[in-house]
Copies of this chain bind each other. A is one copy, B any other.
Amino acid sequence: VSITIGDVSRAAGVSIKTVSRVLNKEKYVAADTRARVEAAAATLGFRPNFAARALAGHRSFQIVLIYDNPSPYFAQNIQAGVRERCAVDGYRMIAQPCDSGSANLIDEIGSLIDQAQLDGVILTPPFTERADVRQALAARGVRYVMISPASIDAAVPASFIDQAEASAAMTAYLIGLGHRRIGFVMGDERYASSHKRLEGYRRALDEAGIAFAAELVQPGEYNFETGSLAAAALLALPMPPTAIFASSDDMAAGVLATAHRLGVSVPGQVSVAGFDDTDLAAVVWPPLTTIRQPVRDLGYAAADLLLVGAEEPEQRQLPFEIVARGTTAAV
């Protein structure tokens, strides 16, 4: 029922192959021939068939974004960025949420690649740290890029922000506000970002000549509940912190809730800061001071690295920003 290349070629009075050339923007097509073909295609409303292109061309014009499911906010924004970049080149993005604990993860990813003839893969944490996943991709010869990998692999393009630096900046910001005892709520240990954020916190303390106190660091798992618990522990300390830096907004929201529950005023008795600038930051009370990661841009950059495909892999570091809101106040 659909218009095919054959229809277009007949209408334009050229061969099928020539239409194909125009479609693929190949060189060596006379300008007027190209114009004629394009006109015919437009008139007929021709849409190339994905399946046929994939079958014959061994490529699908599809890339897949593999992600775990930490925060819907994060996933949505990364996806939006990737999608936007894909649209520029006529690619489509397949969003593939994966369970990082799944036993047959490799098999799932592998079969997706084989069956769909994917042109590329974008890996996000914690899959960036999975040697088995990366090896499966390499084995199939699929191009892939990473978002926020734990460590830079010169051979694999990546987009990221300097997490330790961002964390240090927030800590320094709190120190600048006059705080000396700053609590820190750490993220899920399985994510490299957790360790980097802690590292930045410690570095900023060092640089300010403030001694590190182990009791001021509480574990967490990047979610509300663990943030609440961590705050309870911190606020129960004989000498409680005057500020708490939770290394994710969800945990910061938990810190806030605990403070409210205990009747501790924010920012009167304790300042609170988060990390990520999710939608959450603006809808809790008081609104969170936090670090804005350019999540959407990270997705866009990653797709760009994948689709452009330069000879030497490129690493792209993006800027972050501290967004000051009501949970911290100058002394």
Contacts and interface: CB of A to CB of B under 8 A. Distances in A.
Interface residues of A, number: 44
Contacts of A52: 51, 55
Interface string A45-57: 0011111111100
Contacts of A256: 285
A80 B115 CA distance: 22
B224 A282 contact: yes
Nearest to A250: B283
Contacts of A285: 256-257, 260-261, 284-285
Interface in A234-270: 250, 253-254, 256-257, 260-261
A54 B117 CA distance: 13
Interface string A286-327: 110000000000000000000000000000000000000000
A111 B47 contact: yes
Contacts of A282: 224
A280 interface: yes
A147 B123 CA distance: 31
A76 interface: yes
Contacts of A253: 283-284
Interface in A65-113: 69, 72-73, 75-76, 79-80, 83, 92, 94-95, 97, 111
Contacts of A111: 47
Contact of A280 (B80, B260, B283): B283
Instruction: Point out which of A49, A50, A80, A282 has the most chain B C-beta atoms below 10 A from its C-beta.
Output: A50
Contacts of A92: 94
Contact of A54 (B51, B224, B279): B51
Contacts of A226: none
A26 interface: no
Nearest to A117: B51
A207 interface: no
A254 B279 contact: no
A32 interface: no
Nearest to A74: B72
A168 to B, nearest CB: 27
Interface string A107-132: 00001001111000000000000000
A94 B94 CA distance: 7
Nearest to A77: B72
Contacts of A24: none
Contacts of A2: 114
Contacts of A328: none
Contacts of A80: 97
**Lowest 5 CB-CB distances: which A-B pairs, in order?**
A51-B54, A72-B76, A51-B55, A72-B72, A260-B285
Given A51-B51, A80-B97, 19 more contacts: A2-B114, A47-B111, A49-B115, A49-B117, A50-B54, A50-B116, A50-B117, A51-B52, A51-B60, A51-B116, A72-B73, A75-B76, A76-B76, A257-B287, A261-B285, A280-B280, A280-B283, A284-B285, A285-B285
